[in-house]
Structure 1
Amino acid sequence: MLDNLKIAARAIRTVFTADPVTRVRRFYEIQAPDVEFAARRTHYMNVGYWEDGVTDIDDAAEALAGKLADAAGLKPDDTILDVGFGYADQDFSWLRSGRVGKVVGLNITPHHIEAAQRRAQEEGLADRTDFRLGSATELPFPDGTFDRVVALESAFHFYPRSAFFAEALRVLKPGGVLATADIIPVSENVVRAAIQSGPLSFVKFSIPKENWHDRETYAQQLADAGFDRPEVQSIKDHTWEGWRRYMADRTNDPDFRAAVKPAVRKSMASHWKNQDLMKRELANLDYVIAVAHKR
């Protein structure tokens, strides 16, 4: 009961935080990592790319990171900037597989940064990584620093995302690429404030209204920032439904049940109970991979 009260208190504090940057940081501090990643192999924080036969969130999340890497055209000698990197699982995967040469990561959540720095030391990758605190809309790097800039399910938080696009263009080298995996509405007629289901509360409370745009506007904002050939492709059919099914059934998984307290299981089951509402609301959410080039 005490754990659930703490979570509720953190959630309330987050919702009523006026500053959008602080609100996002607090959003990622609501759930304790030992609950969020209970009975999982990775610390990925994305909804995943669910191809036929994929039933595991870790496999799906790794697949989505791979989709983003392919879209960005990562190369072994690239130095990339990963903005809003979470726990940096994608970065370590790309480094271990030789897809990139060096990763600089920027994040506003201190415990994410500390965890990534610690892991870099443990895996002997400290000399090829640089994880630091900073804002996506005021990138602390000189012009023309990076070969690629990526944002894996994080740019919808950036206040505003259009300012991030401008900064990404600035820090990219000529010929560089920006690639994002992002959450947007299927139409600008979708009312963000009308979303009611608990698991989608982040849409209402941590996506600023300035970022509530459909694919056409998303591409236009990339072009307005100065990018060439912006493409915004929906992968909605491979994301939301697989994620919803997995999460709705998670409290029935024996390994998960063994890893968390009964009160936590009960609270999560209640949180995910109204699946009909979730299905209706997820029909209004798009999921895209966007790619744009610097001339």
Structure 2
Amino acid sequence: MLLTLIPKGFFSRQARKPEGIFGRYLMSYLFRKGNESLNGKVLGQMGLSETDSILEVGFGPGSLIKAVAANVTSGKVYGVDFSRAMLQSACKLNQKNIDSGRVQLLFSDSIRLPFPDSSFDKLCTVNTLYFWPDPKQQLKEFLRVLKPAGKLVIGFRDSETLESLKLDSQIFNFYTSEEVAELLRQSGFDQVRLQQHPNIALSSMIAEGCKAMS
């Protein structure tokens, strides 16, 4: 298998922030294939309305952005990612909706999101939490940009699943599902729920939380 030939540290750094030709092409391919099932579960859990304002943090090659835009026909879909390689890939995939003004993709770090308070009805992120330097601060930033009663949906793999893979623990932070749920509660989210989605290849989890009405 090709991945067994790639040094663990190099692959883990690329998984965190894809760069260069390797990042734009090989990591885009791996993200599309590896996240396809989990993206579908996250999409289903968001409970989208056609008029919603949606943000995806860490959109990667843009597959979930495209799927969200197909459901949010009268709203607006935003995305932020700090990888220029992923921004290029995602813009290419979503060019039609970008040209129409329905999708806006930004090069940005997510710890200081470039949006006003209470901007979004829903926020989603898939396989990014392992890389947050300060998870509580990150989640509080998500809470800030959500509207009252807004919903956060996080797709991830838990520590047991990730520890079975070829990953560098100096780059990846591993969490149990209960640790993720507790982080949401401690950061101010209400109605926190966990769901497991067994997969033939990799078992996946979804964590949900809502912003209080006041």
Contact 1:162 / 1:225 at 8 angstroms: preserved in 2?
yes
**AA matched with 2:210:** H
What are structure 1's unaligned runs of at least 5 residues? 48-60, 245-285
The secondary structure found in structure 1 opposite 2:90 is helix
Contact 1:84 / 1:155 at 8 angstroms: preserved in 2?
no
Aligned equivalent of 2:206: 289
The secondary structure found in structure 2 opposite 1:180 is strand
Q: CA deviation at 1:183?
A: 1.8
The secondary structure found in structure 2 opposite 1:174 is strand
Aligned equivalent of 1:272: none
Structure 1 length normalisation: TM-score? 0.61
- Structure 2 residue 190 is the aligned partner of structure 1 residue 232: no
Contact 2:17 / 2:83 at 8 angstroms: preserved in 1?
yes
Contact 1:136 / 1:158 at 8 angstroms: preserved in 2?
no
Distance 2:133 2:88 in 1: 23
Distance 1:128 1:64 in 2: 24
- Structure 2 residue 96 is the aligned partner of structure 1 residue 179: no
Measured against aligned partners, the alpha-carbon deviations of 1:51-100 in whole angstroms (never above 9, x if no partner) come to xxxxxxxxxx1x43231122121211111110011111111122124467
Match of 1:201 among 166, 170, 187: 166
Measured against aligned partners, the alpha-carbon deviations of 1:205-263 in whole angstroms (never above 9, x if no partner) come to 4313xxx332222111111111111112222xx22xx236xxxxxxxxxxxxxxxxxxx
Q: Structure 1 100/183 Cα, relative in aligned 2: closer, same or farther at 3 Å? A: farther
Match of 2:201 among 224, 243, 261: 243
Distance 1:158 1:146 in 2: 21
The secondary structure found in structure 2 opposite 1:117 is helix
Higher helix residue share:
1
Q: CA deviation at 1:112?
A: 0.8
The secondary structure found in structure 1 opposite 2:48 is coil
1:1-295 map, 5 Å: 24-26=16-18, 31=22, 33-35=24-26, 44=32, 46-47=34-35, 61=36, 63-98=37-72, 101-121=75-95, 123-126=96-99, 127-186=101-160, 195=163, 200-202=165-167, 204-208=169-173, 212-235=174-197, 238-239=198-199, 242-243=200-201, 287-295=204-212
Measured against aligned partners, the alpha-carbon deviations of 1:94-144 in whole angstroms (never above 9, x if no partner) come to 2124467221111111011122223333x2443111111222222221110
Contact 1:74 / 1:100 at 8 angstroms: preserved in 2?
no
Q: Structure 1 98/213 Cα, relative in aligned 2: closer, same or farther at 3 Å? A: closer
Across the aligned residues of Structure 1 and Structure 2, the Cα RMSD in angstroms comes to 3.3
**AA matched with 1:224:** Q
Aligned equivalent of 1:275: none
Contact 2:77 / 2:102 at 8 angstroms: preserved in 1?
yes
Contact 1:156 / 1:184 at 8 angstroms: preserved in 2?
no
Distance 1:219 1:230 in 2: 6
Distance 1:23 1:125 in 2: 25
Structure 2 length normalisation: TM-score? 0.81
Contact 2:149 / 2:211 at 8 angstroms: preserved in 1?
yes
